[in-house]
Amino acid sequence: MKLITQIARPKRIEDVAGQELAKQALLSIAKKPYDSPRVIILHGTYGVGKTSLARAFARALNCQNQNNGDACGKCYTCSINIEDTEFYEEYDSSIIGNVEDIKKLREFFNFNSDQGYRVITIDEAHLLSRQAQSSLLKVFEEVNSRVFFILCTTEKDKLLSTIQSRSMDIRLNKVPDSCIRDNLKKVAEDNSITIDDKSIDLIVSKCEGHLRDAHILLQNYMILDEDSFKKLVGTARKSFLGFYICCYLGDLGRSQQFLGELIKYPLSDLKRDYEALLLEIMECSVSVKEPKDELMRELMKLMKQKVLNLYYIMVDPIIINSFDNSDRFQAAQYDIYLKINQKMR
């Protein structure tokens, strides 16, 4: 069985899910590579398309029938694996993390062909030592005009300021839910995978903007039975929301039922879901985002009626740090119930 993360890898820049500004920037460079920056920093959280964009960019640069800056998808270069060509090389910073590694590769970093462009991608570039980054900076200054360097990183601030000042800085954001949903449907259709919309929605909710996570979950969907898959992708969000709504209503009995549901989840999952819900509540309460379902709308309505913003209670450090022990977690959530009811009296 082929891995979804491999078969779903986009070949064209435009096929990358989301990242419209990043795609437009790379398309512009691919159109006029001769007078564009030679070092590009792609930075953002994991699993949102950094290396996918780097590979697609290399294919676009070397496409024989380029279409508005992007690869045509039909020529010889587009038909082969770009990673198997002289046009693309990808290194992990754990492999070339020191000065000696950079020196050994220095000669290879050059590219003398007049038939195309070489794209050299360094993944997790922030893990390079400062000395290795300094050595790399010299390479940037000496390399010829047919070589592009792409530094992919989740922590741009750890790159030398001298590197950042010589680079084109492109930020990648989390992939919107709608883009992930469309991508999953296309991948499923292209690969004859039968999956219903409800299961896709569960994956979208679980992956939280990380497309690679969505592809891994789709792979799990193909392997697991329905019950096992639902346990894997299920989140505690609805139980948390139900609990907090009951807190505002002063319904101790039902709130205890929701708390009973919550303690069935692993503490690590509860912490992740709590933090995600905390951000969602904050964004909805200040109208940065619209509530995405009836439960959140009900909570927002109660918060306005009672003139009590749950967010300020949830950020209590004692509650935030209660996820290392089941008894502490339950006590912290019950404390939320008491605080809401005490403040409304």
* DSSP secondary structure letters along 1-62: ---HHHHT--SSGGGSSS-HHHHHHHHHHHHSGGGS-SEEEEE-STTSSHHHHHHHHHHHHH
How many angstroms separate the CA atoms of 83 and 90, rounded? 8
- Decide: 179 and 144 in contact? Cβ < 8 Å: no
Domain residue spans of the chain: 4-171, 177-233, 237-343
Q: What is the reported pLDDT for 112?
A: 67
pLDDT averaged over the chain?
Answer: 88
Q: Which amino acid is at 120?
A: I
> Looking at the domain covering 177-233, what would its CATH class be?
mainly alpha
For 204, counting Cβ atoms within 10 Å of its Cβ (0-12 exposed, 13-18 middle, 19+ buried), the class is: buried
Instruction: Give yes or no for a contact between 146 and 111, defined as CB atoms under 8 angstroms apart.
Output: yes
| pLDDT tens by residue, 213-228 | 999 999 988 888 777 7
How is domain 4-171 classified at the architecture level of CATH? 3-Layer(aba) Sandwich (3.40)
Region of poorest pLDDT, from 153-157, 162-166, 229-233: 229-233
**Lowest-confidence pick of 48-52, 97-101, 143-147, 332-336:** 97-101
| 193, two tokens | 């995978």
Predicted TM-score of the model (pTM): 0.74
pLDDT tens figures, 37-66: 889 999 999 999 999 999 999 999 999 899
Q: Please give the average per-residue pLDDT across 104-121, as a whole number.
A: 77
